[in-house]
Structures are given as structure tokens and as C-alpha cells.
């Protein structure tokens, strides 16, 4: 991982996680609140992306008609599609940037949870290597799961030494950063432990819930993208996520510490809630706007029909008046002619 990325993105997130942990006193709860807070921070971007997606979804029926009509003329198809986008004020790329911007934050959050000693407490590589050797953790795993293992073993040493850091630990950490005892116990589970697929235990609940919530998240996102006319083109492209995402979440849940699994679980839960709420709010607003536009168009048509009918009536009245005047003129002329005789 690049030093700039670690310094600009991951370290601030690590400090935020540390701030939450110091105030709630529970690492598991801190990770959950951390995931929620990051969701709230990137919410404006999510809303912008969602609005764009809903607008594009609403145009699916018209886009499919154009694709059928100009199936053999790609140039004409692109022209008509662009006209359709312009007419509705939609840009196909407008929703992409808001989707990509949160990715560095999400990766940074993952690394902050995965490497707490470096990004929460600020220890350098040399200090981490010494601590790894002290507690018997492979230094080659420091950028993977080693830091969680070190923090867990240091916590055990802290408890065994009467809640005081042993001299061997302070000799390494003094002057290099403030060492904080991180208790990874959460709801009876050790979040520093990596679930073993060959040794069933209670911590299996984490990868299982990770897979289930990933499936639920994919399912809800697919359902929320469906349109009333039954055109689910965008949703159909996500059907593979039903299988791939849960399986990946389940797999990684068994090879990574429980703390990362807890983050994934609650990130999925928050995503589900966010997707349901935003879709209902934004789609309801969009449908009201479309209903108002439809009513306006119908009112304009009705006004034009009424104006046309009034013009026809006026024209008919003029024609009758002209006919009556003509008849009166003829009658007068005939009377005059008769009087002359």
C-alpha cells in the first residue's frame, strides 16, 4: 500500500477509529460505529449516484425501443440515445464518479481495521517488527493480519501483568507512540481470532452472517432497481452478485480476523437500510415529479383541445352569421326588386 495513501486516507481513518474506541471502550462497537459514520460522511455522494441511477432506470423502456429500432445502425442509435438523455437531462456518466469516490475511503477503512497498531496507534515498521518478535508473531504478516494478532497477545500480557504493561513492552514502545490495550472481545467473541473452517466454533457466526448480509444487500439493491414497467435490464446484470458476493464474503470471513468480518456485516446492514430508504424517498419524489409533468402535459393538451374547439365554434358562428347576412341581403335585394316592378 502506498505511503501517500496510508498517510492521507488510512491514518486519519485510523485516528477516527481510535477516537471512537476511546469513547465507547469496545473495539467491536467502535468498528460498527466507524462503519456507520463513514456511511454518513459519503451519503451526499451516494444520494447523487442514486438519483442518477433512478433517472437512467426510468429510461430503460425507451432505450430498449431505440435499440430495437436501430439495431443495425449503431451511429443512429447513439445519436437518438444522446437526444433522449438530453431531453430528460440525464448523463450516463453522472452516477459513475460518486460511486468511485468512496472506494478509497472504503479501502482505507479496511486497512485501518486490519492494521490497528500502525494506523490507530501510529507505530512504525521497526517498532511493529520488535513487538512481533516479542509476542511470537511472524513479522511478514504485519501488513496482513499480524497487527491484530500482536494487539491481542499484548492485551493478554497486559492482563496477566495486573493491567500494567511489562517492561519488555514499554522498552520497545516508549518514545515510539502511545500503546493502548485493545480488548477484541465482543459479544463473547474474540474479534482478533480468524475463524477456522476445519475447527467449528462460535466465531463461525461472523463469516456466515457476512455471507448472508452480502446476499441480502445484493438482493435489495436488485429489487430497488426494478421499474414498474417490469424492465429490469440493470437489475439483470446484478444477478450474478447473488452468488459471487456472498461466496466471496463467506470465503474471506474464514481467512481474515473477526474484526474485519464484523465491519463487513454491519456495512452490509447499513447498505441495505440506506438503499431502501433512499430509493423510496428519491423514487417517490421522482414519481411525483413525473406525475406533475404528466398532469401538466395533459392540461396543455386539454387547453389546446378546448382552444381548438372554441375556434371551431367561433368559426361556425361566423359562418352562420355570414350565411344569415347573405340570406338577409338576398331577401332585401329580392324585395327591392319586387318593389321596383
| CA atoms within 13 A of residue 258's CA, in its CB half-sphere | 26
Mean pLDDT of 325-333: 71
Res 230: pLDDT:
47
pLDDT at 99: 55
Each residue of 251-305: pLDDT tens digit? 888 988 888 899 889 989 998 998 888 888 887 766 666 666 666 777 777 878 8
The mean pLDDT of the chain is 80
Q: pLDDT tens-digit profile of 138-150?
A: 999 888 888 988 9
Q: pLDDT (tens digit, 9 = 90+) per residue, 63-95?
A: 778 888 888 878 888 888 888 777 776 766 655
Q: What is the pTM of this model?
A: 0.69
Give residue 231's pLDDT. Answer: 47
Confidence of residue 319 (pLDDT cuts 50, 70, 90): confident
CA–CA dist 89, 26 (Å, integer): 48
For 151-176, give one letter per residue: b (16+ CB within 10 A) or e: bbbbbebbeeeeeebeeebeebbeeb
pLDDT of residue 227: 52
- Residues 44-58 as b/e (b if ≥16 CB within 10 A, e otherwise) read ebbebbbbbbbbbbb
Q: What would the pLDDT profile of 210-228 be if each residue is shown by its tens digit?
A: 999 998 988 887 777 665 4
What is the distance, to the nearest Å, from the Cα of residue 154 to the centroid of all Cα atoms in its chain?
37
Amino acid at each position: 500500500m502506498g505511503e501517500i495513501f496510508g498517510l492521507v486516507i488510512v491514518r486519519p481513518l485510523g485516528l477516527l477509529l481510535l477516537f471512537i474506541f476511546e469513547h465507547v471502550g469496545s473495539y467491536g462497537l467502535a468498528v460498527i460505529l466507524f462503519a456507520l459514520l463513514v456511511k454518513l460522511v459519503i451519503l451526499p455522494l451516494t444520494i447523487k449516484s442514486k438519483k442518477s441511477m433512478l433517472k437512467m432506470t426510468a429510461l430503460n423502456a425507451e432505450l430498449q425501443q431505440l435499440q430495437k429500432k436501430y439495431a443495425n445502425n449503431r451511429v443512429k442509435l447513439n445519436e437518438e440515445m444522446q437526444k433522449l438523455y438530453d431531453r430528460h437531462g440525464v448523463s450516463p456518466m453522472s452516477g459513475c464518479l460518486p460511486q468511485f469516490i468512496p472506494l478509497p475511503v472504503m479501502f482505507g477503512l479496511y486497512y485501518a481495521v486490519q492494521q490497528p497498531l500502525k494506523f490507530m496507534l501510529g507505530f512504525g515498521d521497526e517498532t511493529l517488527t520488535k513487538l512481533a518478535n516479542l509476542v511470537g508473531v511472524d513479522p511478514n504478516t504485519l501488513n496482513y493480519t499480524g497487527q491484530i494478532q500482536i494487539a491481542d497477545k499484548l492485551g493478554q500480557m497486559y492482563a496477566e501483568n495486573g493491567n500494567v504493561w511489562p517492561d519488555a513492552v514499554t522498552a520497545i514502545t516508549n518514545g515510539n507512540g502511545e500503546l493502548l490495550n485493545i480488548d477484541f472481545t465482543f459479544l463473547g467473541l474474540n474479534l482478533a481470532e480468524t475463524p477456522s473452517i476445519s475447527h467449528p466454533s462460535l466465531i463461525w457466526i461472523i463469516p456466515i452472517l457476512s455471507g448472508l448480509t452480502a446476499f441480502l444487500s445484493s438482493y435489495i439493491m436488485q429489487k430497488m432497481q426494478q421499474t414498474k414497467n417490469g424492465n429490469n435490464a440493470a437489475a439483470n446484470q446484478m444477478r450474478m452478485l447473488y452468488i459471487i458476493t456472498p461466496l466471496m464474503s463467506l470465503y474471506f470471513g474464514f481467512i481474515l480476523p473477526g474484526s474485519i468480518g464484523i465491519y463487513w456485516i454491519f456495512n452490509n446492514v447499513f447498505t441495505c437500510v440506506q438503499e431502501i430508504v433512499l430509493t423510496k424517498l428519491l423514487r417517490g419524489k421522482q414519481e411525483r415529479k413525473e406525475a406533475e409533468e404528466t398532469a401538466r402535459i395533459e392540461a396543455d393538451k386539454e387547453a389546446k383541445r378546448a382552444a381548438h374547439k372554441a375556434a371551431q365554434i367561433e368559426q361556425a358562428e361566423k359562418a352562420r352569421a355570414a350565411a344569415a347576412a347573405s340570406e338577409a341581403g338576398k331577401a332585401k335585394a329580392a324585395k327591392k326588386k319586387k318593389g321596383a316592378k
